[in-house]
Structure 1
Amino acid sequence: MVPTGVRRAVTSRVEDDDTLRIEWPGPDDGGIVLRHAETGEEHPGVELAGLAVGTWTVCKHGTPVVTDDPGFSLDGLVAYAATPRRKEVRAVRSSQGILTVVVREVEPYVEVTRVGPEDGVIAVEGIIAYGEPVAGERPAGFTAVARKGPQVTGAGTASGRHFSGTVPIGPMAEGQTRQRVFWDLFAEVGGVRLELAARLDDVEGKKARVRFPAQRAGQVRVRPYFTDTDSLAVACTIEGENT
């Protein structure tokens, strides 16, 4: 339960320029101070660039701010990820309704928007997040790398922030002798290898909740899946054995 007298925000979002925007139901009557949950460091104001990694509690008049805003807008997060950056800053409502700012380090990657396992290939579409866009339309690499073994090369295209590519499943399954082999998927854009993942939405536990159709190459079942860190990978399993 939220204590009486605590200031409640109607809207609380982080803008593209790392500024915290808060809308109140009444007149704004004081400054904002952010307090780091682990170190106790305080940061005055709503300019968030340069904040240390971690969770910051948003306070007003010395008291944590409560918010009605869950802090999630997929369109807003996609727009935010369009800017090259090395730190991601998000406004997050805690389970107690307290407004926090979460800062984490990021690397450019491809945010997966579509996975199509069909016709002997795995097709993927996505957008480049936190990295530089591609000028015009250019060929791009799409590679599956076995965690203990070789790699298989597919083909892709990059245009602006958009990426699409396919990788064949036949070479991934060919000659497999171990019961199960895992492959990680990467785009290669402008000579840079980018991880494929789905991290901008609010779906937690994708590994258990998202299940893609399987294909078969001989006796091997080939199925894309999301890992514990929401990266896109592929599991190749020999049929007829205990899994």
Structure 2
Amino acid sequence: METRREAAVPGGRRAVTSRVDDNDTLRVEWPQPDDAEIVLRHAETGEERPGADLTGLRAGIWLASHRGGPLMTDDPGFSLDGLLTYAETPRDREIRAFRTTAGILALTVREVGPYVEVTGVVSDDGVIEVEGLVAYGEPYAGPARLVAVARKGPEPVSGPAAFSGRRFGGGVPIAPMAEAQARKRAFWDLHAEIAGVRLPLATRLDDVTDKKTKVRFPAQHVGRIRVRPYYTETDSLAVALSVEEETS
């Protein structure tokens, strides 16, 4: 998870662990009992908010203090299982706890919408297959489609998929995308579609930053056209097609 840089802060109370519960309550474990109130301060506006109830916090970064000093922590705040559980609740705002580079407990608040959190990608045998879980939205059930939408030009390409509660699985053929190739490079964004609703595919709940350069999926070829899934700068799943030069 991304951290923010602040000058080192001496002293201050120290928390063992800190988590944001499903009901947007900050839960802190202390090395010994402590019932004093936590105060949150918005990093940009200076607005202060007392207590552990996080309902209605404005978007941005909030720094925690306790008994008049910064609330220090050794806990990075990351738990993939916890974030997956948190994402099971439909919501339009995500709150995460993290530790700044100065060791202060902080919260990041951002607006979110329903999407499919990708948990697996297979690129092989002329198909791109995807598995995932619905995040921040209602569960679905029944037949669906995995849809590839070109950023310019061709009509969407789709393949069979299905939802089972929060689980999603589907595949899309690469040949129709390659056949529609009219430029040296083309890009297609992937979506899960059911009952006319399209959900973006992305991987945003882990702690891997800069997936676009760090995560590499195998490429397939349709003639001279190279087809490779990749992550965008916003961690969405997309497909890049490029025409390879002929070799003599």
TM-score (norm. length: structure 1): 0.95
Secondary structure in structure 1 of the residue aligned to 2:130: strand
2:233 aligned to 209, 228, 231, which one?
A: 228
What is the correspondence of 1:127-146 to structure 2 with a 5 Å cutoff? 127-134=133-140, 137-146=141-150
Contiguous gaps of at least 5 residues in structure 1: none
Partner of 1:30: 36
Secondary structure in structure 2 of the residue aligned to 1:78: helix
**CA deviation map 1:141-190 (0-9, x unaligned):** 21101111121111110000000110000000004231110000000134
C-alpha distance in 1 between matches for 2:96 and 2:14: 18
C-alpha distance in 2 between matches for 1:106 and 1:202: 17
Secondary structure in structure 1 of the residue aligned to 2:152: coil
Partner of 1:61: 67
C-alpha distance in 1 between matches for 2:228 and 2:149: 15
Partner of 2:10: 3
TM-align CA RMSD: 1.1
Matched, 1:207 2:226: no
Secondary structure in structure 2 of the residue aligned to 1:154: strand
What is the correspondence of 1:7-26 to structure 2 with a 5 Å cutoff? 7-26=13-32
TM-score (norm. length: structure 2): 0.93
C-alpha distance in 1 between matches for 2:67 and 2:17: 18
**Deviation at residue 52 of structure 1 after TM alignment:** 0.6
**Which aligned runs of 4 or more in structure 1 are off by greater than 2 angstroms?**
none
Percentage of identical aligned residues: 65
Partner of 2:5: none
Contiguous gaps of at least 5 residues in structure 2: 1-7
**Deviation at residue 61 of structure 1 after TM alignment:** 1.7
